[in-house]
Amino acid sequence: MTIEIKNKTNWIITFITSIGLFISLFIILVVIPFTSVQNDYFLTVLHFISSAAPFTGLFIIFLYIWLWNTFGKTVLIIESDIITVRYKNKLFTHPKIFSKKEIDHIVSKDFAVEEYKFGVRYHLSWSGSTYSVVIVNRDREIRIVDWITKDMAEEIIHKIKSIW
């Protein structure tokens, strides 16, 4: 069985990263080629590569954030003995596979107030999307679906438990 969970799109982040994508692409394709034109062809190529590298890195970071925020989906593939978690439209990720034997239980957890090793972090949400579906195995918790409502988290857990 497959469950697809669409990310909530933050339109402010989508707008800001879209502007960042266009600006960095404009710099890479228009500004740097005009500034790197020199008499020697080898030096032109070398100057272009060294000048475009930071902007290419910035472009990749903006693309990573923009893709995941705008089109991202978490896909849970539930089989009889394993759960596979895939993140669609998220660059540089591989599927996470969890065996039924190594999972103690699956719970929904509220992260409105999150404690971590440096203190406390508060997450404010008007829509109530502060819950996560968490796999508990032995001594650690692994979030598989983040920032959803309590109803959606409970529904996902119910679907998983009905198959297992």
pLDDT tens-digit readout, 52-99? 999 999 999 999 999 999 999 999 998 888 899 999 999 899 999 999
Sequence-ordered strand ranges (E) for 46-151: 73-78, 82-88, 96-99, 105-110, 113-116, 119-122, 131-137, 140-148
Can you give the pLDDT at residue 114?
78
Q: Which two tokens stand for residue 163?
A: 């198959």
Given a contact cutoff of 8 angstroms between Cβ atoms, the answer to whether 124 and 139 are in contact is: no
Domain-wise residue ranges, the chain: 7-71, 80-163
Q: How distant, in Å, are the alpha carbons of 11, 33, 59, 63, 136 from that of 25?
A: 21, 12, 7, 11, 43
Given a contact cutoff of 8 angstroms between Cβ atoms, the answer to whether 17 and 66 are in contact is: yes
Q: Which two tokens stand for residue 151?
A: 């109803």
List per-residue pLDDT tens for the chain, 164 residues long. 899 999 888 899 999 999 999 999 999 999 988 887 766 777 788 888 899 999 999 999 999 999 999 999 999 998 888 899 999 999 899 999 999 888 888 999 888 787 888 888 787 776 668 888 999 988 888 999 988 888 999 999 998 888 77
How would DSSP label each residue in 122-163?
Answer: E---TT---EEEEEEETTEEEEEEEEE-HHHHHHHHHHHHHH
Q: Which two tokens stand for residue 111?
A: 């992260």
Mean pLDDT of the chain: 88
What whole-number distance in Å separates Cα of residue 143 and Cα of residue 108? 9
In sign, the C-alpha dihedral spanning 112, 68, 145, 152 is positive
What whole-number distance in Å separates Cα of residue 3 and Cα of residue 6? 10
